A and B are shown apart, each in its own frame.
Chain A
């Protein structure tokens, strides 16, 4: 990089133009960062899911309950290590807008099968000993100003209490923190005990919403899933077992092809950017025709001239692109409320890689035509134009 200062100087030659071009690139990559974060959340889900866990739901639809009696039968399937069961409660705290997931779970089993949930001190014991106890995510507690020991009322939407009331009261006995990346969603959830739920609800006793099955060997999970489903075929409640990742993906996919929308927008944005930046670069090189001819006269060979012009466009796209992506990753945490059940938006490693690839490609495509033109420049004609 002996000629870095030369490349730098030519970028600064027209400060306004370089600055405006940089801003266009920054904006494009800022948008790329946002959209790709959304795309990753909707199409990946993998970082969130345990590889050794299956979700078993009713074959008819995931809201159809399954008998609790399936518990023992699933446990008997070879390859199944442990299992837990859960029910979607759908309770509302104060206002419908305060949506968060609240789930009735088989307490000890559920925590055992999700080792990524880190609990506050004493929470585990308190949760297992207090029937009305609930664990709330740290983020959720912060949002509503809850503390351990608080009693909070939830309005039931799906499950009225058998007393006829729609208000259920829970006592917060502990906070959940994300032990690792997979558990981020738990920071916005509330878990409470199935026995309290099942005894209190007006109808549906003895059923579970879904089972979470831990397999002994992740490589076996497809076989185990098929074995579980075969067990209940032609019964009153057939099942569908999927890996946790597949389950999450299938759900996200139902919102529509977010990946396709994001890609289409990005294609439009980058095509536009290509034209704007390409035009600016070409113009910049055209204006410097005489200078380039002087460089050639001084003995700069054609290859070097090509590399100099290419380096200039690369440098500009990289500065703009990296600034844009960094800006995106700094501002994304501000969109925290983007659906409480979705993991938080952030720039994933694969977005950085893809973004970097696009920068290199863009720099090359934008820089190549003027670079080739500069390389082919005849010294005498160029100087004569002057």
Chain B
């Protein structure tokens, strides 16, 4: 009932549907951006992997660890060892280089990470998807596939000038997390090219997820070391905190303002829809239908239109934005690449919002319809 006359009011119905499509589409796109960013940085760290930085430093760029200290850190208890008995620890040096972006041709900060021989054993998810790794002692680069997508000139075989030295790109790697945004090279070579004598961090595999306290205690016992250890999970979560808050704030503000606007729009059209049906509703009531079925029919119409709009908006956002890749300024003042993620929870939340808009938009007109005096309603045309 009521819905049968919907085709007669195609225009009004289309307006409600489009309005909600717009709101839901924008909301899903913004939240997919937030979720993609969270997922990329959330997956980057591990609970059983620790990063050791100079005490007080809040990022690798702010940290410095002397060569001899790096050796001491690797031998601290709590650090896991490989089959040969060597500690699973990689002293790493991080530099930032200006490279041209593929999209605009303007320079952006690329993160170049010089790693020790154990780095590949430490990153369990790392796969070389094209070419080969760099060789020790050579000016060779292994680029993350995110970095290769973002910056031009990072194809295997290409030569690029970094700090006035020619470097050859030997391959591409994938990890599925923020590490893909980095470009890797041999730590010793990076140090000599950038005239550095120290490392930025030491990354270690812990013997087990609870070993962080043992490592921390071990580091504290050595008076020569002024360092702090945290799990990489914690480290990456802190690094992205500010940006995550900002994106979240933006998404919520924009979406709530748009939702309020959509409620007004829906109210308006539903109101008009009820006005157009005044006579029909009056007749129904004169025939003995109570106010409850009338209220229900208007509400049902609002909810149905909202659901249609919500589904349209969510699928449009999914088609356009799922796996849409962008980059922003992340940890170490460097570009981090991430992909939008449209997932089930997000779509469910968006549909719930659409239904809420539909409900709020239809409630008042529905009550107005139920209160309409029958004789007056019959007289209108």
Q: Which chain A positions have C-beta within 8 A of B26?
A: 265, 268-269
Chain A residue with Cβ nearest B20: A272
CA of A99 to CA of B253 in the docked complex: distance in angstroms? 23
Chain B residue with Cβ nearest A236: B195
Instruction: Give, as a whole number of angstroms, the nearest-CB distance from A236 to chain B.
Output: 7
Number of interface residues of B (CB under 8 A): 57
A280 touches B268 (CB 8 A): yes
B191 CB-CB contact with A under 8 Å: no
B233 CB-CB contact with A under 8 Å: no
B19 touches A276 (CB 8 A): yes
CA of A63 to CA of B63 in the docked complex: distance in angstroms? 13
Return the contact of B265 from the options A59, A61, A238, A276 (Cβ within 8 A). A276
Return the contact of B98 from the options A16, A35, A60 (Cβ within 8 A). A60
A303 CB-CB contact with B under 8 Å: no
Q: A31-B258, A61-B109, A265-B26 are in contact. Are A256 and B326 (CB under 8 A)?
A: yes
B57 touches A157 (CB 8 A): yes
CA of A234 to CA of B268 in the docked complex: distance in angstroms? 68
Instruction: Give, as a whole number of angstroms, the nearest-CB distance from A347 to chain B.
Output: 15
CA of A269 to CA of B23 in the docked complex: distance in angstroms? 8
A203 touches B64 (CB 8 A): yes
CA of A158 to CA of B106 in the docked complex: distance in angstroms? 28
CA of A23 to CA of B268 in the docked complex: distance in angstroms? 10
B267 CB-CB contact with A under 8 Å: yes
CA of A225 to CA of B11 in the docked complex: distance in angstroms? 60
Q: A253-B106, A268-B22, A276-B265 are in contact. Are A61 and B96 (CB under 8 A)?
A: yes
Instruction: Give, as a whole number of angstroms, the nearest-CB distance from B255 to chain A.
Output: 10
Q: Which chain A positions have C-beta within 8 A of B283?
A: none
Instruction: Give, as a whole number of angstroms, the nearest-CB distance from A93 to chain B.
Output: 13
A143 CB-CB contact with B under 8 Å: no
A254 touches B12 (CB 8 A): no
CA of A64 to CA of B56 in the docked complex: distance in angstroms? 20
B272 touches A272 (CB 8 A): no
Return the contact of B257 from the options A16, A31, A62, A275 (Cβ within 8 A). A31
A63 touches B12 (CB 8 A): no
A132 CB-CB contact with B under 8 Å: no
* Residue among B104, B195, B246, B329 facing the most chain A CB atoms (10 A cut-off): B329
Q: Contact flags (1/0) for A4-33 with B, using CB distance below 8 Å? A: 000000000000110011011001101100
CA of A275 to CA of B13 in the docked complex: distance in angstroms? 11
A238 touches B106 (CB 8 A): no
A60 touches B95 (CB 8 A): yes
B164 CB-CB contact with A under 8 Å: yes
Chain B residue with Cβ nearest A159: B62
Q: Contact flags (1/0) for A147-176 with B, using CB distance below 8 Å? A: 000000001111010001010000000000
CA of A20 to CA of B361 in the docked complex: distance in angstroms? 11
Q: A24-B261, A31-B254, A275-B19 are in contact. Are A255 and B329 (CB under 8 A)?
A: yes
Q: Which chain A positions have C-beta within 8 A of B21?
A: 272
A2 CB-CB contact with B under 8 Å: no
Q: Contact flags (1/0) for A40-71 with B, using CB distance below 8 Å? A: 00000000000000000001111110000000
Q: Which chain B positions have C-beta within 8 A of A64?
A: 95-96
Q: Which chain A positions have C-beta within 8 A of B158?
A: none
CA of A355 to CA of B40 in the docked complex: distance in angstroms? 37
Instruction: Give, as a whole number of angstroms, the nearest-CB distance from B30 to chain A.
Output: 8
A283 CB-CB contact with B under 8 Å: yes
CA of A279 to CA of B269 in the docked complex: distance in angstroms? 8
Instruction: Give, as a whole number of angstroms, the nearest-CB distance from A213 to chain B.
Output: 19
Number of interface residues of A (CB under 8 A): 52
B25-60 interface with A by 8 A CB criterion:
25-26, 30, 54-59
B56 touches A275 (CB 8 A): no
* Residue among B15, B58, B265, B333 facing the most chain A CB atoms (10 A cut-off): B265
What DSSP secondary structure best describes chain B's contact surface? helix
Q: A160-B56, A164-B226 are in contact. Are A27 and B269 (CB under 8 A)?
A: no
CA of A268 to CA of B19 in the docked complex: distance in angstroms? 9
CA of A28 to CA of B164 in the docked complex: distance in angstroms? 52
B22 touches A269 (CB 8 A): yes
CA of A90 to CA of B56 in the docked complex: distance in angstroms? 11
B82 CB-CB contact with A under 8 Å: no
CA of A256 to CA of B330 in the docked complex: distance in angstroms? 11
B264 CB-CB contact with A under 8 Å: yes
A250 CB-CB contact with B under 8 Å: yes
B271 CB-CB contact with A under 8 Å: yes
Chain B residue with Cβ nearest A386: B381
Return the contact of B327 from the options A92, A256, A269 (Cβ within 8 A). A256
Q: Which chain B positions have C-beta within 8 A of A62?
A: 333
A276 touches B58 (CB 8 A): no
B15 touches A59 (CB 8 A): no
Q: A17-B268, A17-B272 are in contact. Are A254 and B335 (CB under 8 A)?
A: yes
Instruction: Give, as a whole number of angstroms, the nearest-CB distance from A245 to chain B.
Output: 14
A339 CB-CB contact with B under 8 Å: yes
Q: Contact flags (1/0) for B267-288 with A, using CB distance below 8 Å? A: 1110110000000000000000
Q: Which chain A positions have C-beta within 8 A of B335?
A: 254
Q: Identify the A interface with B (CB < 8 A).
A: 16-17, 20-21, 23-24, 27-28, 30-31, 34-35, 59-64, 90, 92, 96, 99, 155-158, 160, 164, 166, 203, 234, 236, 238, 240, 250, 253-256, 265, 268-269, 271-273, 275-276, 279-280, 282-283, 339
Give 25 CB contacts A-B under 8 Å: A21-B264, A24-B265, A31-B254, A34-B254, A59-B98, A60-B95, A60-B97, A61-B333, A63-B61, A64-B95, A99-B242, A155-B56, A156-B56, A158-B62, A164-B226, A250-B106, A253-B106, A255-B328, A268-B25, A269-B258, A269-B261, A272-B22, A272-B23, A279-B11, A282-B11
Q: A234-B164, A272-B18, A272-B262 are in contact. List 18 more A-B contacts (CB 8 A).
A: A20-B271, A24-B264, A24-B265, A31-B261, A34-B257, A60-B194, A92-B58, A155-B56, A158-B62, A164-B226, A240-B98, A272-B19, A272-B265, A275-B14, A275-B18, A276-B265, A279-B11, A279-B12
Please list the 4 inter-chain residue pairs (A to B) with the smallest Cβ-Cβ separation, ordered nearest first: A27-B261, A61-B96, A272-B22, A166-B56
Q: Identify the B interface with A (CB < 8 A).
A: 11-12, 14-15, 18-19, 21-23, 25-26, 30, 54-59, 61-62, 64, 95-98, 104, 106-109, 163-164, 194-195, 226, 242, 246, 253-254, 257-258, 260-262, 264-265, 267-269, 271-272, 326-329, 333, 335
